[in-house]
Amino acid sequence: MSNESTRVAVITGASSGIGKAAAKMLLADGWHVIAHGRDLARTQAAAEELRAATPPGARLHVVQGDLALLADTARLSAEIAALTPRIDALLCNAGGVRAEKHVTAEGHEATFTGNHLGHFLMVQRLMPQLKAAGAARVINNSSSAHLVAPPIDWNDPQSLENWVSVSSYALAKLYNILFARELARRGAADGIVAHAMHPGIVDTNFASHGNAQMQTHMAAAQLDPPERSAATLAWLASAPEPGQSSGRYWFDKAEVDPNAAAQNDDDARRLWVESERLVAETGF
């Protein structure tokens, strides 16, 4: 269990890239970090690296699970809840793009679930710990890809029928912003601050699972080191300025405007209700 005076951060997707860099930054500031990874071997390797970087006074736990599977997410959330009575920052950083459509054994489209619905369930399951912190922050790692998201088809919000790799990912990134917007509204009474951020175009393994179009785009881009985006992620978790507002969208430690679709409060509420329905239908 965490010491009551120690700030606690949960970081999904912390076995590599931005998440791992952010974990190192928060550990250096004395946080208790609960770092999550999906791939077992990569998570174990990251655990060794993070332990070596953990200074005296900081604490580290490493957990593993697949956010694209709600059963695994529920188990993972219970494991995290057993480690700490409070969570000061939940950094929903995990995500990714796929070259091919994949429907999970639970009947969900994996890009939608891995980027959005898994985090939605995790936030619900960890709400007691977030409320206990008194002024918790939930940060969604979104993307400027939301700018090219197609209109939401509320008859098929997961794109199970009309799946296209880049469009599915762009929709998921739009959902990240809408989720933060609605969480900001619903969580305000409990002191919960929610934001979304654009990480930039980052030199990580992100595109390795994407299609040829995505891999070509990333290969031609000027890439930022993961530490640049991680600095914004850690700043959103801990700095005073982002704690003074909620439901905003950030890039490089500055507030920026997402597109009109990402500022639609009706869609934000509808996404929340639809996500609750999908989670309930799956048994959670």
Residues 170, 165: Cα–Cα separation, whole Å: 9
CA distances (Å), 67 to each of 12, 28, 89, 113, 196, in order? 9, 27, 18, 7, 18
Kindly report the pTM of this predicted structure: 0.92
pLDDT at 36: 98
Query: Is the CB of residue 198 less than 8 Å from the CB of residue 251?
Result: yes
**Which entry of 169, 235, 250, 272 is annotated as an active-site residue?**
169
Tens digits of residue pLDDT in 141-150: 999 999 999 9
**pLDDT band at 281; cut points 50, 70, 90:** very high
SS3 277: helix
| CATH number among 2.60.40.1930, 3.40.630.30, 3.40.50.720, 2.60.40.1120, domain 8-281 | 3.40.50.720
What residue spans define the domains of the chain? 8-281
Comparing 63-72, 73-82, 220-229, 252-261, the range with the smallest average pLDDT is: 220-229
The answer to whether 249 is a known catalytic residue is no
**pLDDT band at 239; cut points 50, 70, 90:** very high
